[in-house]
Amino acid sequence: MKIRLGDRVWKTPYALRENGKDKLLEGTVIWIHPKGRFYVLRFDLPGGSFCESFSE
């Protein structure tokens, strides 16, 4: 699967992992490394948003 800007992707943010229970959230791809090594997702939550990078 090739990731593109604006794609909606389901991932478990590192910041929200708890005792082996992964919480999947839908994030929006906002940046992709020029050589495709990783991408950044923005997660929008009711209290605000945050970004995290992922590699495939």
pLDDT score recorded for residue 1: 65
pLDDT score recorded for residue 22: 79
Tell me 17's DSSP state: -
CB 31 within 8 A of CB 49: no
- What residue segments make up the domains of the chain, in order of their start? 8-54
The per-residue pLDDT string of the chain (56 residues; one tens digit each, 9 = 90 and over) reads: 689 999 999 999 987 777 767 789 999 999 999 999 999 999 999 999 999 999 97
Q: Which residues contact 51 (CB under 8 A, 6 or more apart)?
A: 30, 40, 41, 42, 43
Tell me the longest C-alpha to C-alpha distance in the chain: 34
The residues pairing with 26 across neighbouring beta strands, listed in sequence order, are 10
